[in-house]
Amino acid sequence: MTQALAAADLAASARQLAGQVAFVTGASRGMGRAIALRFVLKGTPLAQDTTLAPARA
């Protein structure tokens, strides 16, 4: 994909997400992180949730 097409894709997505907030769980790593970064690149406000696993005995 060329830079021009990528920029046009981001602009179109930003219009679709106008007034929305993305909520991503697991945004600290892996696929959740990739999804969260994509939303941020589109200019979408992002809320994330972090849940720590209980300590193992």
Residue 22 in contact with residue 36, Cβ under 8 Å?
Answer: yes
Per the structure block, which two tokens stand in for 1?
């994909």
Question: Tell me: the pLDDT tens digits for 1-54?
Answer: 566 666 666 667 667 777 888 888 888 888 888 888 888 888 888 887 777 767
